[in-house]
């Protein structure tokens, strides 16, 4: 028997409002089952939410996230789709590699700043 979740439950888990989750549904990012008029979320919906949150932390738009998520649902029997898919993957990889470099650059600068800064502090207030 598969575990399911309510909307409020997931909202708590991911620290967003229920409005946000419904908004993602509106945008086609998730499509939970219904029981009567209520939304029932299965584990795969939860996984999707997790992917969405990660995408957001990385600064992607919902539309970009939509594209990325759909990659996981491609029909592997369609060659054309597969090619397109592969191209998308490579684009994403490039974008992310660029981000990695950006982050590495900033972290380097921040480290330098941190060192300088705490040295200054030690001089000024030798606790």
Partner DNA sequence: TCACACCTTTACCTTTACGTAAAGGTAAAG
Partner DNA sequence: CTTTACCTTTACGTAAAGGTAAAGGTGTGA
Per CB under 8 A, the segment of 11-19, 23-31, 32-40, 58-66 that binds a copy of itself is 58-66
The yes or no reply on residue 47 touching a copy of itself (CB under 8 A) is: no
Q: Decide: is 98 part of the binding site for a copy of itself (CB under 8 A).
A: yes
Q: How many other CB atoms are found less than 10 A from the CB of residue 111?
A: 10
Residue 8 or 101 with smaller CB distance to a copy of itself: 101
Decide: 10 and 40 in contact? Cβ < 8 Å.
no
* Residues belonging to the chain: 127
CB of 119 to DNA, least distance (A): 33
Residue with Cβ nearer DNA (14 or 85): 14
C-alpha of 118 from chain center:
34
Which residues, 6+ apart, have CB-to-CB distance to 66 below 8 Å? 27, 28, 29
Name the one residue in this structure whose structure tokens are 């575990």: 3
**Contact call for residue 100 and a copy of itself (CB under 8 A):** yes
Distance of alpha carbon 6 from alpha carbon 39, whole angstroms: 7
Shorter beta-carbon distance to DNA: residue 59 or 126: 59
In the shown chain, the binding pattern of residues 106 to 125 toward a copy of itself, with x for contact by CB under 8 A and - for none, equals xx--xx-xx--xx-xx--xx
């Amino acid at each position: 028997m598969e575990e399911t979740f309510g909307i409020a439950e997931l909202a708590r888990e991911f620290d967003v409002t229920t409005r946000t989750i419904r908004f993602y549904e509106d945008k086609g990012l998730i499509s939970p089952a219904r029981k009567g008029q209520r939304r029932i979320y299965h584990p795969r919906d939860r996984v999707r939410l997790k992917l969405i949150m990660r995408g957001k932390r990385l600064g992607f738009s919902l539309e970009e996230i939509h594209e990325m998520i759909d990659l996981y649902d491609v029909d592997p029997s369609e060659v054309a789709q597969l090619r397109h898919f592969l191209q998308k993957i490579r684009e994403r990889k490039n974008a992310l590699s660029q981000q990695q470099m950006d982050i590495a650059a900033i972290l380097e600068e921040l480290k330098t700043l941190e060192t300088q800064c705490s040295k200054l502090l030690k001089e000024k207030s030798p606790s």
